[in-house]
Structure 1
């Protein structure tokens, strides 16, 4: 898996893997922005906080984003007003503005060198249909008191637009630099971080949770916060059915001609996200988007060609220097799930479905968690409530799950290659003794053959030509060509040929 510019250019401290059983007051699963922000706020009320991560601090989607710190989440406010009312829409805005302020305050308080810069955010369109949507959003925001400015053009921006919305006092930064320092800060406040410590399951015993980790080790905790982006433990919340996994793509190239200071995203499809990163007296264009559902692309590598073509046609750039992809989860009503994992569980919390806006929303999650834990209430609680019926009592929910059912059946029926000849750096589905397997031969000629039945709920996996991974089109689990887990909600790896059938374990209860 190719790492992001941010990860490759920022060395971080190494935190040991957990090699014994321990007790904690608060267990946070996931050392990305959500987990780190939550630990930072909770450290004011407890000195017994443990964070575990299956990989390294900030190595997931938190370290693979654009670095946009903004409350301008596309055309969201009119939509929320129409679905849930003006009050909910305004609270969504206020929550993300508070999240933005929390990040800014942390940067300033600890003087974190993370290229933090206050800039405006622009939502633009190049099409007449998109212009009508932008005007509709502007009218709703004007009524709500959300300070968007409507523009007919953006001076200094090379793309000819039909219209745009501008929101001032937003920000951009290097998310990995920020997380590296924030991890150090919370450790100094008494938080324990363990890397390379995947959670393999969650049980309960009276008033405690028991997280199974490396080997036979366990973590007993009074409160557990799932901050790992994907809902690997479901607790009958049926999160796998209420959100979809999407892949999106980013590139970084030297920018040879300046553009207007700001962050940019378009309205129409394919999605295009743009910003400038400044480092060592050089400007770089970060450009990407072009998202699609996980496991639903025939050739991921071609997407980068489309991004580079778009960038070259509109900006003065040098050679492509970095390229990477990331995964996000989109809820069926485009609002994240943050709060109690279900209505019957008090000390188990979840944050998932950030809809590609996980930077400010990670801070929102931390604010909500601390309020719920200390006061039992939060003014943002109902907006982000994971049990809200509006997120699944809708046609989109039914449509998406019908597609999942179709993909499940299609995967079982689809034939593989009876010819098992696999070239170097090639991956394909093959038939061996009447059963389907995934075969990949690396650049050195070593062949890997794995059972490609997803260990989450049993869908058939599809080969990802860019990441050299096996991706699930149903619920977004991803596995390396050697069978190891790259993305949940799957908890168990794929088995190699000769090791038997995969173990299906969705951890629903």
Structure 2
């Protein structure tokens, strides 16, 4: 599964990693948050190093649907149920500044993007009440929202909210431009090096899987923070969503807008021009990471929905992305707890990272450089509402239950085997399949991909969750906090910081 943005991307050339080096700031993560932060700091004259465990855009930014919109489904009305008007206004102001900064930057560097009207639509009569709540919340916050009956879709809707003159981008082209700009200002970007810990301060020691460097400031732009000291893994729900690019029939055309439904499962639409063709991009059908019965089924359901409304459409690309949703909805960014004021982070964009990531970068760089951002100060002063606190309790109760059930299943299987004196060895999984079984007290994850069978520890290297086989992407996913590993055990995304160890020969 490769996104349309990452297909045919320019080969990434890494700068050399120099153990023992000293920098003003080290940024971990080369997605939109990390690269915009690095650029803002490099512009100020700082010596900046960006560390990326894989390559720019490998995780969320390279797998987004890339809508740069201030109309974000029904998110503002959800915020308004938990927060004061000043907090909601601060969120809108942050996203407005993030959007304006990004589009201005693209204009300055000649990076193409498309202006589109954004729509949130209701496919059912019940959904129209949510639309009216969104109009109220957004209008109060200064957005020029309009309730319309016809959204320009090829299927009937019961109403829609429209916000004119938003934008859609090619996210990897944006990242490539940022990388070039950072390097042109003296910054370095190193791929294949993973931050694992930060100790001390003034300067801090940054520990990686290739040695250490020192820095006055450290920025965690890793999706979910890979340092556990702030316990953000307990405040964020990891969600995996699916997307596809579709070639339509000659008599069909994608709608001229950006769309998202209020109903679940979510359906997102936008167009994209490639090789002289206008493709339809669809997305949605998300779920908690590692807890789907079949990820392949979620993707298949999304494709079935698309073909139902665009008969004969053929998928040219399919992919998925991971996002983190705060239990209290508001994104987190700024100074990291127990970081002595020298560790900074951004996370929890609730699938609206194209504006939130840039806003977080503006706030983080202001903290480092001594600036003042009023909307950031307001967001930092938020107080979790009772409903947000209950969401956190429910999330972590679910995590505890999943941890217990995972180990309980392993123990039960081990007990069954103990009662069988000559239990047969587990069969080698068929191509594309993976399973977890018990060797005594040891949970083992075994899979076969491209003809190679790998036996690994089935225990996540973060906090010990029993891993789940993702039958769509052929990966091992943790149902607790969303860490993911390739079939041969390589870490793909955190909060884990280490690969899966081998389980040896069976």
Do Structure 1 and Structure 2 share a fold, with TM-score over 0.5? Answer: yes
Shift of 1:255: 2.7
Deviation string, structure 1 residues 290-313 (Cα, Å, up to 9, x no partner): 000000111111222211111111
Shift of 1:386: 9.1
**Residue 224 of structure 1 pairs with residue 218 of structure 2:** yes
- 1:383 and 1:80, CA in 2 relative to 1: closer, same or farther beyond 3 A? farther
Matching residue of 1:246: 239
Residues 389-428 of structure 1 aligned to structure 2 (within 5 Å)? 389-390=384-385, 394-415=389-410, 419-422=425-428, 423-428=430-435
- 1:392 and 1:77, CA in 2 relative to 1: closer, same or farther beyond 3 A? closer
- 1:343 and 1:220, CA in 2 relative to 1: closer, same or farther beyond 3 A? closer
Shift of 1:100: 0.9
- 1:50 and 1:305, CA in 2 relative to 1: closer, same or farther beyond 3 A? same
**Residue 482 of structure 1 pairs with residue 477 of structure 2:** no
Shift of 1:499: 9.5
Matching residue of 2:120: 123
CA distance in 2, matches of 1:267, 1:420: 45
- 1:350 and 1:260, CA in 2 relative to 1: closer, same or farther beyond 3 A? same
Deviation string, structure 1 residues 39-96 (Cα, Å, up to 9, x no partner): 1211221230110100011211110111111112221222323322111112211211
Shift of 1:389: 4.1
**Residue 158 of structure 1 pairs with residue 154 of structure 2:** yes
- 1:344 and 1:186, CA in 2 relative to 1: closer, same or farther beyond 3 A? closer
TM-score (norm 2): 0.93
Q: Which runs of 4+ in 1 moved over 3 A?
A: 386-393, 415-419
Would you say the 8 A contact 2:90–2:379 is kept in 1? Answer: no
1:443 to 447, 450, 454: 450
Structure 1 unmatched ranges of 5 or more = 501-509
Deviation string, structure 1 residues 139-193 (Cα, Å, up to 9, x no partner): 22233322111111213x1121111111112100110111112211111011111
Matching residue of 1:136: 133
CA distance in 2, matches of 1:313, 1:288: 15
Residues 277-356 of structure 1 aligned to structure 2 (within 5 Å)? 277-316=272-311, 318-342=313-337, 345-356=340-351
Structure 2 unmatched ranges of 5 or more = 418-424
CA distance in 2, matches of 1:430, 1:333: 37
Deviation string, structure 1 residues 105-129 (Cα, Å, up to 9, x no partner): 11111112xx401111100111122
Secondary structure of the residue that 1:158 maps to in structure 2? coil
CA distance in 1, matches of 2:338, 2:482: 25
Matching residue of 2:476: 470
Secondary structure of the residue that 2:154 maps to in structure 1? coil
Shift of 1:21: 2.2
CA distance in 2, matches of 1:169, 1:178: 19
CA distance in 2, matches of 1:317, 1:41: 46
Shift of 1:342: 2.2
Secondary structure of the residue that 2:6 maps to in structure 1? helix
The RMSD of aligned alpha carbons is 2.0
CA distance in 1, matches of 2:383, 2:58: 31
